[in-house]
């Protein structure tokens, strides 16, 4: 089949662009994939494509069962997972975009609901969503598929910064709705100290106020790896409530991160876990931001919390900080860790000051001998 010049020109521009994508489609959009592959050079654009139809495949890819399969939130979650998948296989510093389309169109049985499509593109700088409700009964399945696929390619072009779009054969009552979630703006506000923290939920929504997490797992996440995820899952099971992650842009032992680095770290959680980004390098500052929270840590972190050198080498200041954290209703759930001498150590190996035994709680039956340092040394990118 001969491809129309407008379509071929746009796809060629995609193949010539530096960005690469992981594409996930459910319900519609397969024609867009076929068009991408039809133009030579698709390997420069496409890292991977997945077509999700059966509910178990959907749940396996998202690592959860969505409340609705065709919904804005589900589209954003799919795009987030596509982005984290793309990050695993990209070359160093290669720009990647997670792209998702979930739709319900004409089938061989009557449908009560609207024919509609949700498309999302997610990259470290931001998330863009598109929604279109199709005029029911006015097109065949082939025609609806073609329209959705053209809209999907337009979304990909937008994510790649390509300044051209395909024409869309819309009916008079049809309108594409577009929304942008910008991750750059809250990051800049954090670095200007206009806000002390912000949260990015698993579906990409950003919050700067009204946030009260119950449990946080702090870290630098360079990279996020299976040890972090296993610890979060185990802690959630032990506590009976969800665990979120916390990233400090400022670290006690390291230089402050660049805003671009913060956005790259956030992108590792896309479509999977909520993450809070703060300007709080110490646990006392974190406790003041998040009173009542339980911090999930490893043994090595707990040991640093109890070391006077982080309190201007003053045991008195250390005890005062512990007392304030206790007064704020915070506590530490501590997992065991293998030290540099290959000895597995737990909270029982810590010298806890008198009166603070209840501030530190052991996390039983957990061991994960992996670290970000080991992964960086091995050149690995982290976890799926």
Confidence of residue 92 (pLDDT cuts 50, 70, 90): confident
Class of CATH domain 184-378: alpha beta
Distances 293 to 172, 202, 331 between C-alpha atoms, Å: 52, 19, 7
93-122 average pLDDT score: 91
- The whole-number pLDDT of residue 125 equals 96
State percent of the chain over pLDDT 90.
83
Separation between Cα atoms, residue 105 and residue 142, nearest integer Å: 10
Confidence of residue 264 (pLDDT cuts 50, 70, 90): very high
In the chain, the N- to C-terminal Cα span, in Å, equals 38
Helix ranges restricted to H, the chain? 5-16, 30-38, 55-62, 72-89, 141-159, 184-191, 226-239, 259-267, 283-289, 299-305, 315-327, 372-378
State pLDDT tens for residues 195-237: 999 999 999 999 999 888 999 999 999 999 999 999 999 999 9
Query: Is the Cβ–Cβ distance between 6 and 166 less than 8 Å?
Result: yes
- The whole-number pLDDT of residue 367 equals 76
- The whole-number pLDDT of residue 85 equals 96
State pLDDT tens for residues 137-162: 999 999 999 999 999 999 999 999 99
How is the chain split into domains, by residue range?
5-182, 184-378
Mean pLDDT of the chain: 93
Structure tokens at 360: 């530190």
- The whole-number pLDDT of residue 376 equals 44
pTM score, whole prediction: 0.92
- The whole-number pLDDT of residue 375 equals 47
323-334 average pLDDT score: 98
Identify the burial level of 140 via C-beta atoms within 10 angstroms of its C-beta, where 0-12 means exposed, 13-18 middle and 19 or more buried: exposed
Class of CATH domain 5-182: alpha beta
């Amino acid at each position: 089949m001969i491809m129309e010049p407008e379509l071929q020109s746009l796809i060629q521009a995609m193949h010539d662009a530096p960005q690469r994508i992981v594409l996930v489609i459910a319900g519609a959009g397969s024609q867009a994939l076929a068009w991408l592959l039809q133009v030579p050079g698709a390997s420069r654009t496409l890292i991977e494509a997945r077509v999700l139809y059966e509910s178990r495949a959907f749940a396996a890819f998202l690592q959860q069962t969505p409340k609705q399969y065709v919904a804005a939130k589900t589209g954003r979650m799919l795009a987030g997972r596509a982005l984290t998948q793309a990050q695993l296989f990209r070359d160093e510093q290669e720009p990647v975009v997670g792209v998702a389309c979930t739709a319900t169109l004409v089938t061989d049985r009557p449908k009560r609901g609207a024919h509609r499509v949700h498309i999302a593109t997610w990259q470290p700088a931001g998330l863009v969503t598109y929604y279109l409700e199709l005029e029911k009964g006015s097109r065949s399945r082939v025609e609806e598929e073609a329209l959705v696929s053209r809209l999907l390619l337009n979304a990909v072009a937008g994510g790649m910064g390509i300044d051209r779009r395909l024409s869309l054969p819309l009916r008079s009552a049809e309108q594409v709705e577009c929304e942008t979630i910008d991750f750059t703006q809250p990051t800049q506000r954090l670095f200007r100290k206009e806000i002390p923290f912000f949260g990015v939920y698993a579906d990409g929504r950003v919050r700067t106020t009204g946030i009260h997490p119950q449990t946080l797992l702090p870290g630098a996440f360079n990279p996020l790896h299976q040890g972090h995820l296993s610890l979060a899952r185990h802690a959630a099971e032990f506590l009976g409530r969800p665990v979120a992650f916390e990233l400090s842009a400022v670290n006690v032992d390291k230089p402050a991160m660049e805003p671009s680095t913060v956005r790259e770290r956030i992108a590792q959680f896309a479509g999977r876990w909520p993450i809070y980004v703060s300007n709080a390098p110490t646990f006392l500052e974190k406790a003041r931001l998040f009173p009542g929270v339980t911090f999930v840590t490893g043994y090595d972190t707990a040991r640093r919390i109890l070391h006077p050198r982080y309190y201007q080498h003053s045991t008195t200041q250390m005890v005062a900080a512990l007392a304030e954290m206790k007064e704020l209703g915070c506590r530490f759930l501590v997992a065991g860790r293998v030290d540099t001498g290959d000895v597995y150590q737990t909270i029982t190996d810590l010298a806890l000051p008198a009166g603070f035994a209840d501030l530190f709680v052991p996390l039983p039956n957990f061991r994960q001998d992996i670290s970000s340092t080991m992964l960086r040394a091995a050149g690995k990118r982290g976890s799926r």
